[in-house]
Structure 1
Amino acid sequence: MGRRGSVLVAIVALIGLSTACETKSGRDSGAPADTDEPIVVGSTLSLSGAFAATGAIHELAGKLFVDRLNADGGLLGREVRWVVRDDESDQAKVSTLYEQLISQDQVDLIIGPYATPNILSAMAVALRHGFTMPQHTSVLAPLMDYECQFPGWSIGPEPNKFVPDQLFDAVASLPNPPTKVAIVTNQNGSTDFISYGSDADRTGAVSIATQRGLDVVAEVRYPPTTTDWAPIATQVRDAAPDLVINNGLGVDPVNLLQAMAQLNYTPPLMFSLFPAPGPPLGLGATADGLLSVTIFEPNKSTLDKLGPEATEIVDEFQSRAEAADLPYTVFETQAAASWTAWEILAAAVEGSGGLDQQALCDELHANGATTTFNGDLTFDPEVNNFWPPTQAIKQIQDSDWVTVWPTDRAAAQLRRPAS
């Protein structure tokens, strides 16, 4: 069994064990409604390690949300306090930290961590204690089968099909669409899933490209710990693709683009799945035309549709990000997913009128949540609560990310890079 299969089997086993050990200890948590005690929300984030660049975005978005919430009276008339622990981008630490937050710190509410493997580990703890858990960014929808987890970013129940189909539809609209594709995949569970599907459904970018008549001229799978990108870059260059698909995370596309540039090679077109948004912009012309996924970009046309509150949030986030010296200060996909998860949590509390965990879960199933950046959401446990996708495709144009697909959401036209 490959690395990806072993990871997924271990995750499923962990969730199965959690089901067998499930208790209801979390369902009666919280002080009486008339108390002045703060409502405490617990979570972890990747504030160090491989995911730190993205974790910092989620931390800042969460702090901004809590500050604005408290300025507006908090929840149930009580102040909200957020306790966040650093999971160091290490899935092995997540379970222990969430167990501590619930059992020792006795938090009232939880919200999920960043990155699919971490979310799966946190979900197992939430299930065991009966806690409702909104989460920002899980991609492995088939494994998110705990009925009281609620996604703040949806690529639908079959993202292994939705993402490749959306990308291939987008590039097919170009005057000279790509015919040869290289697919370079981080073996992290969520990214490998987009390329190759799951053990139950082997559909992914590789098989869909072939079904669409594209020539897959190179397939490269690399471990998340990869530091030497030269052999990968050489293999891609020698395959001479029209489109490079990097189903990777964080700074993977930066490392790959830099390695290809050292070979004096620039791919005609490149897509990266889940990059940290700032680092590619730092490459200047080297990253011109890079494509990725998005649920929100603060392009003027988008903000005009959403109204003044969205603009106020975007501006305040940028001000705080600049003060914190974040490498990328724009409120975009990661921040919007984080914001949506917090809005889901707040909707559950206010709608149910308390902190009973089952009531929170039932409220979201019954009435959904209204969100600033993704509209009115509904949650169906039959599809693991993944709502209809709002994801789009963005591209680096003139040193900025802009939404380019689908056309009814685009702020600019999809184009090939100038080079």
Structure 2
Amino acid sequence: MSKVARPRATAYRTRRALVGVAAASVLIASGCGLSAPSEAEETTDEPIQIGMSLPLSGPAADRAKPGMEGYQYWADQVNANGGLLGRQVELTVLDDGFDQQTAISDYNRLISQDQVDLLLGTFSSDLNLAVAPVAERYGYVYIQPSGGADEIFARDFNYLFFAQPTTTQGLPNQFVDLIEQMPEEDRPETVALVQQDDPNTTQAAEIFGERLAELGVETVYDQTYAPDTSNFDTIANAIRQADPDVIVHGPVTSDGVSLVRSLQRVGFSPDMLYQQNAPTSPNYAQAIGEANTEGIFTSIAYSTETEFGGNPDFVAGYTEEYGYAPDEDAANSYTAGQVLQAAVEGAGNLDQAEMADWLHANTVDTIVGPLSWDAAGRPQGELLLAQFQSGELEVVAPADRSTAEPLYTKPSWQ
């Protein structure tokens, strides 16, 4: 049977177990402690309940949709292969609307009221910064698919793990290394830093500025804007006046498209443009014009071209299921599911402390490559540097995983 409750939240059973959607209410948990499932509970044939909250509505909904699909596809595959510990899995999904307080309430509710067996994480540094302490307080393994701000991991939580190759600390590496490898006479001399007020993007901008300064690249404009900013014409005009060689932009959602449109309106096209997050959004190319994507750089955790962790099967199966190839958000969710599955199977039970200990001591083979973590849950790998070329995101660094040579100068807007 499906769960029935009020309309804001949604409880999903995997398609092979049940086709349909049931709603669930948002109730703020009492805040009292709750222990992990007992051995007696683990002997049942009932489905393993896995809870999460995602921004299925609000400004990040376009990223949450493929993220939800990645989680669902992982659960379908688990169930098709016998489940976890011989039990089917069932996802209970709440909608946080991209709001911190709602996300906190959702995870309190999932643990205290719904008494889920396992958790999976939400999206963005802003939400995970608020939610990770909830999971830690209750002693639940918390695997977040996105949101790499180091502030989240600086609290040295034991149950927190990031399902991407590195945190924000490592995000600038490949792009800065690319500039360093350019002939000195061809390197950009000036940079504009523009970023949404978010723990991930503001930290990344600071690191970009510091690393580029070491190469002699001067910051001529640095602006942090509010998350609700909708008109970027003033910022675009200020960038045009500063006339930087390269723009490093830290958007979170649709603000990536909005800044590009404003730059087009004011007639400024930099020689190099790097954007976080936005270029991997499904509607990005259409929104700015496919020809205008040419030469834009971004960092990615995932490529459909790699052979890691069953990735070819994931790409083929996901594409067949949904009618399009997985994007990074779908892949990040699927990776988080792979990590959770490895923890359960490694521990051999649903004991949260044993799962956390197993992850701290082992490497997990995933579709983004082998993942291992330090004591605070920081992964120990590197992101890929990608660039739009002929309408496709090509990997241009590191060299041993590249699918194309980089273009150093972005064409003017079309």
Q: What is the number of residues matched between the two proteins?
A: 374
- 2-side partners of 1:226 and 1:29: how far apart? 48
Structure 1 position 320 matched with structure 2 position 329: no
Residues 45, 84 of structure 1: 8 Å contact kept: yes
- 1-side partners of 2:204 and 2:398: how far apart? 20
Q: Which amino acid aligns with 1:402?
A: E
Alignment of 1:182-331 (within 5 A): 182-196=192-206, 204-275=207-278, 276-282=280-286, 283-299=289-305, 302=306, 305-306=307-308, 309-322=310-323, 329-331=324-326
- 1-side partners of 2:35 and 2:333: how far apart? 23
Residues 30, 39 of structure 1: 8 Å contact kept: no
TM-superposed CA distance for 1:287, in Å, is 2.1
Deviation larger for 309-318 or 281-290: 309-318
Pair 124,234 (structure 1): closer, same or farther in 2 beyond 3 Å: same
Q: Which residue is 1:66 aligned to?
A: 75
Alignment of 1:116-195 (within 5 A): 116-144=125-153, 145-156=156-167, 159-160=168-169, 162-174=170-182, 176-195=186-205
Structure 1 position 28 matched with structure 2 position 37: yes
Alignment counterpart, residue 400 of structure 1, candidates 385, 392, 405: 392
- 2-side partners of 1:29 and 1:286: how far apart? 56
Q: Deviations over 1:228-256 (max 9, x none)?
A: 11001111111111111001212222111
- Partner of 1:336, secondary structure, is helix
Residues 269, 417 of structure 1: 8 Å contact kept: yes
Residues 245, 272 of structure 2: 8 Å contact kept: yes
TM-superposed CA distance for 1:378, in Å, is 2.4
- 1-side partners of 2:108 and 2:235: how far apart? 39
Q: Which runs of 5+ in 2 are unaligned?
A: 1-30
Q: Deviations over 1:94-128 (max 9, x none)?
A: 11010111111110000111111211222111112
Q: Which residue is 1:199 aligned to?
A: none
TM-score normalised by structure 1 residue count: 0.84
Q: Which amino acid aligns with 2:360?
A: H
Q: Which amino acid aligns with 2:171?
A: V
TM-superposed CA distance for 1:180, in Å, is 1.3
Q: Which residue is 1:357 aligned to?
A: 352
Q: Which runs of 5+ in 1 are unaligned?
A: 1-20, 197-203, 323-328
- Partner of 1:66, secondary structure, is helix
Structure 1 position 370 matched with structure 2 position 365: yes
- 2-side partners of 1:44 and 1:277: how far apart? 20
- 2-side partners of 1:173 and 1:207: how far apart? 17
- 1-side partners of 2:62 and 2:39: how far apart? 33
- 2-side partners of 1:379 and 1:263: how far apart? 45
TM-superposed CA distance for 1:341, in Å, is 1.0
- 2-side partners of 1:352 and 1:364: how far apart? 9
TM-superposed CA distance for 1:269, in Å, is 1.4
TM-superposed CA distance for 1:22, in Å, is 8.8
Q: Deviations over 1:336-383 (max 9, x none)?
A: 2222211111111111111111111122123342323312x32321xx
Deviation larger for 348-357 or 57-66: 348-357
- 2-side partners of 1:172 and 1:250: how far apart? 29
Q: Which residue is 1:102 aligned to?
A: 111
- 1-side partners of 2:173 and 2:334: how far apart? 27
- 2-side partners of 1:165 and 1:89: how far apart? 29
Q: Which amino acid aligns with 1:295?
A: A
User: Identity, % of aligned pairs?
Assistant: 29
Residues 251, 279 of structure 1: 8 Å contact kept: no
- Partner of 2:380, secondary structure, is coil
- 2-side partners of 1:241 and 1:272: how far apart? 15
Deviation larger for 331-340 or 387-396: 331-340
- Partner of 1:408, secondary structure, is helix
- 1-side partners of 2:194 and 2:38: how far apart? 45
Pair 247,30 (structure 1): closer, same or farther in 2 beyond 3 Å: farther
- 1-side partners of 2:378 and 2:32: how far apart? 23
Residues 75, 350 of structure 1: 8 Å contact kept: yes
- Partner of 2:166, secondary structure, is coil
TM-superposed CA distance for 1:412, in Å, is 0.4
Q: Which residue is 2:3 aligned to?
A: none
Pair 140,30 (structure 1): closer, same or farther in 2 beyond 3 Å: farther
Pair 39,278 (structure 1): closer, same or farther in 2 beyond 3 Å: same
Q: Deviations over 1:48-100 (max 9, x none)?
A: 11111111111000000000110000000000001010100111211101011
Q: State the superposition RMSD in angstroms.
A: 1.9
Residues 157, 377 of structure 2: 8 Å contact kept: no
Pair 31,137 (structure 1): closer, same or farther in 2 beyond 3 Å: farther
TM-score normalised by structure 2 residue count: 0.85
